């Protein structure tokens, strides 16, 4: 099964020369509050905007999806301490929030322990529960300003490496008073979901500038983004190398970073601002693309055949076809006879 996306052929030039690029959305995000987004109101449209705003200890490399440090300085050191399995993680010292504050172990420890508290004491669910599983995650503790220990009941790729260690880290200074205020209300979770976070300090590259409901969301690039200029290099021997000449951060793993290079990418941002424009339907978005009002249509479901045929005739539009990133499976309905009989 193929998914087809449409993009103006001039989009590359837009990235290089234009100060602002315009992209089309087919549905409006619900909220830019991270608690709400990872809680009851997760949508792909919200994720498109929030994704560039957040960062975790680890992330995936481009193309190959190698598990690599993001705001961590190295891969974790795993040892057993008593009944716990402990991941010791060094943090980068060059990471700053958008308000100029330096990221420290306090932010990491506070975020993880606070999310666990909301899950255990107040039933916080949604995707937060996928990051912090109280049956595995015990606690996070600060060793020094740039070292944390994260305790688990047992080692687990799903619950640790690809769970808690990849969750978004929030700024303690901004969120701690809001949490304290929320805990005094009748419904702490709803209070957290309702906070206006337009002034929230972020780790990502794009700050919210304006949100005109029903029309557009405009974000602007951080001039002080700590990772600008960072070079990711993937080697054909499997090694990965990350270097930031501006800050001096350097890391390599999964072998020696030598030999033929598979890919090399330099982190931006390369534009001053992005405007996500809302369209009521696909036809309106496609018309905007043809007219040059937008350079890309975000559409997680791809284009229908008639739309593909229509755009194939437009000289300045390029169609990109790729495989669906997913899988399908069959399962049994354990609530119906005879599968509801445990002995069966």
What confidence category does residue 6 fall into, taking pLDDT thresholds of 50, 70 and 90? Answer: low
State pLDDT tens for residues 217-248.
Answer: 999 999 999 999 999 999 999 999 999 999 99
**CA-based max dimension of the chain:** 67
* Local structure of residue 137 (DSSP, 8 states): E
- CA 149/CA 329 separation, integer angstroms: 37
pLDDT at 7: 56
- Work out the percent of the chain whose per-residue pLDDT is above 70: 93
Name the CATH superfamily, with its identifier, for domain 27-278: Dipeptide-binding Protein; Domain 1 (3.90.76.10)
Answer whether residue 204 shows pLDDT above 50.
yes
* Cα 109 versus chain centre, distance: 19
CA-CA distance, 187 to 327, in Å (whole number)? 38
Is pLDDT of 17 > 60?
A: no
What region does 263 belong to: left with phi over 0, alpha with psi -120 to 50, or beta?
A: beta
- At residue 3, the pLDDT reads 53
Say whether 173 sits in a helix, a strand or coil. Answer: helix
Average pLDDT, integer, range 6-18: 47
Q: Answer yes or no: is pLDDT of 2 > 60.
A: no
Distance CA 76, CA 90 (A): 8
Cα gap 86→83, rounded to integer Å: 10
Report the alpha-carbon distance of residue 199 to residue 225 in Å, rounded.
16
Mean pLDDT across the chain, nearest whole number?
92
pLDDT at 320: 81
pLDDT at 28: 96
Domain ranges of the chain: 27-278
Least confident of 68-77, 226-235, 308-317: 308-317
Mean pLDDT of 62-73: 96
In whole angstroms, what is the distance from residue 292 CA to residue 137 CA? 49
Token look-up 């943090």 returns 91
Determine contact, residues 26/289, Cβ cutoff 8 Å: no
Residues linked to residue 240 through DSSP beta bridges, in sequence order: 234, 253
What gap in Å lies between CA 13 and CA 302, rounded to an integer?
A: 24
The reported pLDDT for the residue numbered 196 is 97
pLDDT of 1: 40
More confident residue, 26 or 305: 26
Q: What is the pLDDT of residue 187?
A: 98
C-alpha to C-alpha distance for 56 and 169, rounded to whole angstroms: 5
- Work out the average pLDDT over 309-325: 83
Element (H, E) at 179: helix 172-182
Q: Which pLDDT band, with edges at 50, 70 and 90, does 318 fall under?
A: confident
Q: Is the pLDDT of residue 205 over 80?
A: yes
Burial track 249-263 (b if 16+ CB lie within 10 A, e otherwise): bebbbbeebeeeeee
The more confidently predicted of residues 307 and 169 is 169
pLDDT band at 10 (very low <50, low <70, confident <90, very high): very low
- For residue 72, the 8-state DSSP code is B
Question: Residue 94 corresponds to which tokens in the numbers above?
Answer: 């060059």
What pLDDT score was predicted for residue 15? 45
In this prediction, residue 249 carries a pLDDT of: 98
pLDDT, one tens digit per residue, over 259-285 is 999 999 999 999 999 999 999 899 999
Say what the pLDDT of residue 12 is.
43
């Amino acid at each position: 099964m193929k998914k087809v996306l449409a993009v103006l052929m001039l989009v590359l030039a837009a990235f290089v020369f234009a100060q602002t690029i315009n992209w089309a959305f087919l549905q409006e995000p619900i909220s830019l509050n991270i608690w709400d987004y990872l809680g009851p109101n997760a949508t792909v449209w919200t994720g498109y905007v929030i994704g560039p705003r957040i960062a975790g200890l680890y992330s995936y490399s481009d193309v190959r999806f190698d598990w690599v440090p993001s705001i961590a300085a190295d891969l974790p050191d795993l040892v057993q301490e008593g009944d716990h399995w402990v991941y010791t993680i060094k943090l980068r010292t060059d990471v700053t929030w958008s308000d100029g504050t330096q990221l420290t172990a306090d932010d990491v420890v506070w975020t993880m322990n606070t999310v666990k508290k909301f899950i255990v004491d107040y039933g916080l669910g949604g995707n937060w529960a996928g990051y912090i599983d109280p049956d595995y995650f015990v606690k996070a503790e600060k060793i020094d300003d740039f070292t944390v220990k994260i305790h688990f009941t047992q080692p687990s790729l799903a619950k640790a490496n690809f769970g808690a260690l990849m969750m978004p880290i929030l700024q303690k200074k901004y969120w701690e008073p809001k949490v304290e205020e929320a805990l005094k209300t009748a419904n702490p979770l709803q209070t957290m979901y309702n906070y206006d976070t337009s002034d929230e300090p972020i780790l990502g590259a794009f700050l919210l500038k304006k949100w005109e409901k029903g029309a557009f969301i405009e974000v602007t690039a951080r001039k002080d983004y700590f990772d600008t200029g960072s070079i990711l290099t993937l080697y054909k021997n499997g090694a990965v190398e990350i270097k930031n000449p501006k800050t001096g951060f350097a890391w390599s793993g999964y072998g020696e970073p030598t030999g033929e290079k598979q890919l090399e990418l330099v982190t931006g941002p390369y534009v001053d601002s992005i405007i996500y424009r809302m369209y009521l339907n696909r036809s309106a978005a496609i018309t905007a693309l043809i007219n040059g009002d937008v350079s890309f249509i975000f559409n997680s479901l791809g284009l229908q055949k008639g739309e593909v045929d229509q755009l194939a005739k437009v000289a300045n539009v390029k169609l990109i076809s790729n495989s669906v990133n997913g899988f399908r499976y069959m399962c049994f309905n354990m609530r119906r006879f005879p599968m509801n009989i445990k002995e069966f």
